[in-house]
Amino acid sequence: MSVTEETLALPETEPAGPAPLRDLVAELAARRDVAFAGPGEAATRAQHAKGKLTAHERIALLLDEGSFTEVETFRRHRAVGFGLEDRRPYSDGVVTGWGTVHGRPVFVYAHDFRVFGGALGEAHAQKIHKIMDLALAAGAPLVSLNDGAGARIQEGVTALAGYGGIFQRNTRASGVIPQISVMLGPCAGGAAYSPALTDFVFMVRETSQMFITGPDVIRAVTGEEITQNGLGGADVHAETSGVCHFAYDDEETCLAEVRYLLSLLPQNNRELPPEAPTADDPDRTAEALLDLVPTDTTRPYDVRAVIGELVDDGEFLEVHERWATNLVCALARLDGRVVGVVASQPLALAGVLDIEASEKGARFVQMCDAFNIPLVTLLDVPGFLPGVDQEHGGIIRRGAKLLYAYCNATVPRVSVILRKAYGGAYIVMDSRSVGADLAYAWPTNEIAVMGAEGAANVIFRREIAAAADPEAVRAAAIEEYRSTLTHPYHAAERGLVDDVIDPADTRRVLVRALRMLAAKHSDQPARKHGNPPQ
């Protein structure tokens, strides 16, 4: 039989006379066992049957072995009514504390779905508030392991106020300490806003869902039929909404990837990300790049292969891998130092910028800037995606988000133009004119307002229309425009590109540039905060 409060029958008050200290320590151990065991084996089996781990099992996978220190283990709610006064389990449905990941402090709270379905009440919220305050005070990352049924209905407005306290702390910690939300079960209603306020969201397929209004409410209001996973499952948020940054098949893999992400982030905004030794020669040439990227600007290629050739050991962690795939955002290391890579992806929509790519890039650039991660931008962008849907959807203000993020970033910024960089997209993607510290280009670069074909059709439209051989005149006009304004050295001649480099030397050039910029300092104007486009 499992140990529970009922089987142990612990007294509510101290015994009348003094007890020997050994007896008191034994009672303490018994109470701690009760708190750790939770509702008992049946509840644990039910949790496992859903493919989910318990709160303590998840914490054990996240943190270094034996490093977890729990706080407020014996916290119990004080609510009365609706039978709550007869159900006062220890922990109140959330486990809180700290430990280490790769030897560095990390704070964590984990909902225990076995207790009140992980629902948040007053005591539950106060435990979370406490650990969030400690994380901010200590300047260490905060990881939330979410598996809860939302606000505890029996506690009414006090439960809602508890969420307000969490949101307020999420906002205060934003850009100060890394905040990571790991969705391991349901997260509905207002509870979904806490993950949305954090830096990264992880989800597990089939077992985790996020939505503001569930399928039953949607069916009642709109008549639409949809499942929980179809509405707010991991794949939906990873591919369609962009709410989820990473999605995995099981909790073990998910938590291992959280550990990997933490290894790439600083403890707080006053520190640099941790360096890691590498055997990858910083002066290594990348000859493969000469064959990876076609000189024909209309031919696609996978920019992730380019990133793999440049970064240490070919390893990088792609953020939002399945959302807005025309832009790649990744964390990697160069010369052992963490960098953020933003790259056009010619495999998707020819690498154009659109609404979703602009949102994705802006958020990533802001995160890197907040946590002192240098930015490397790889350009092969034909412009912004044209279309009525894009214009009506707000491409102007959405594209301005990416522009604002780059202009506002004070970390070292190096850009490399691989092939084409046209129009406003060239400016937005960290051009020298918006503050890139260094800009390089390959000999395949074409930097212009638009491609030579389109430009010639505009500039020479009358000559072409009046010619006896329009195609010959058009071809001559295209060549004239290309040789005059889009040849590989035009921008370099005007100081808008610092150097035209051999693609095979790109890794060496980036390493040396970032070494030089490592101590970069940028004074900002005195202001409360900016007002970025929304």
Which of 117, 190, 242, 336 does the annotation list as catalytic? 190
pTM summary value: 0.91
The pairing of strands 316-319 and 327-334 is antiparallel
Is residue 158 over pLDDT 90? no
Q: Which amino acid is at 149?
A: A
Is residue 315 over pLDDT 90? yes
pLDDT at residue 11, as a whole number: 54
Q: Roughly what angle, to the nearest 10 degrees, separates helices 470-485 and 452-459?
A: 120
The more confident residue out of 123 and 337 is 337
Which of 424, 435, 476, 504 does the annotation list as catalytic? 424
Establish whether 425 is a catalytic residue. yes
> What mean pLDDT comes out for the span 384-406?
96
Which of 135, 343, 409, 425 does the annotation list as catalytic? 425
Lowest-confidence range among 8-17, 36-45, 59-68, 87-96? 8-17
CB 406 within 8 A of CB 435: yes
pLDDT in tens, 117-142: 778 888 889 999 999 999 999 999 99
pLDDT at residue 1, as a whole number: 38
Domain boundaries, the chain: 41-264, 288-445+488-517
Calpha distance 445→295 (Å, rounded): 9
In the structure, what pLDDT confidence band is assigned to residue 166 with cuts at 50, 70 and 90?
very high
Establish whether 117 is a catalytic residue. no
How far apart, in Å, are the Cα atoms of 398 and each of 238, 394, 508, 534?
19, 6, 34, 7
pLDDT at residue 2, as a whole number: 45
> What mean pLDDT comes out for the span 375-390?
96
Which of 51, 139, 165, 189 does the annotation list as catalytic? 189
CB 165 within 8 A of CB 125: yes
Calpha distance 173→137 (Å, rounded): 10
CB 436 within 8 A of CB 414: yes
Give the CATH number of domain 41-264; options: 3.40.640.10, 2.120.10.70, 3.90.226.10, 3.90.120.10.
Answer: 3.90.226.10
Number of Cβ within a 10 Å radius of residue 211: 22
In the structure, what pLDDT confidence band is assigned to residue 191 with cuts at 50, 70 and 90?
confident
Is residue 337 over pLDDT 50? yes
> For all residues of the chain together, what is the average pLDDT?
91
> What mean pLDDT comes out for the span 299-325?
97
pLDDT in tens, 37-53: 878 888 889 999 999 99
Is residue 453 over pLDDT 90? no
Calpha distance 532→401 (Å, rounded): 7
Is residue 6 over pLDDT 70? no
In the structure, what pLDDT confidence band is assigned to residue 13 with cuts at 50, 70 and 90?
low
Q: Which of the 8 DSSP states describes residue 55?
A: H
In the structure, what pLDDT confidence band is assigned to residue 523 with cuts at 50, 70 and 90?
confident
pLDDT in tens, 250-277: 999 999 999 999 999 999 999 999 999 9
Calpha distance 492→450 (Å, rounded): 18
pLDDT at residue 12, as a whole number: 56
Using DSSP's 3-state secondary structure scheme, residue 139 falls into: coil
pLDDT at residue 80, as a whole number: 67
pLDDT at residue 149, as a whole number: 75
> What mean pLDDT comes out for the span 214-220?
90
List of long-range contacts for 5-9, beta carbons under 8 Å, 24+ apart: 5/34, 5/89, 5/90, 8/34
Establish whether 83 is a catalytic residue. no
Beta bridge partners of 439: 415
pLDDT at residue 105, as a whole number: 98
Calpha distance 385→350 (Å, rounded): 10
Establish whether 81 is a catalytic residue. no
Calpha distance 312→334 (Å, rounded): 5
CB 376 within 8 A of CB 364: no
380: exposed, middle or buried (Cβ count in 10 Å: 0-12, 13-18, 19+): buried
Lowest-confidence range among 45-54, 151-160, 236-245, 291-300? 151-160
CA 156 to chain centre: 33
Number of Cβ within a 10 Å radius of residue 41: 13
Q: Under CATH, which number does the domain 288-445+488-517 receive?
A: 3.90.226.10
pLDDT at residue 450, as a whole number: 75
| Matching residue, tokens 């979410």 | 146
Written in H, E and C, the secondary structure of 285-327 is CCCCHHHHCCCCCCCCCCHHHHHHHHCHHHCEEEECCCCCCCE
What lies within 8 Å, CB to CB, of 196 at 6+ separation is: 243
Number of Cβ within a 10 Å radius of residue 397: 14
Calpha distance 371→179 (Å, rounded): 11
> What mean pLDDT comes out for the span 346-370?
97
Tokens (6 digits) for 67: 């490093």
Calpha distance 378→389 (Å, rounded): 27
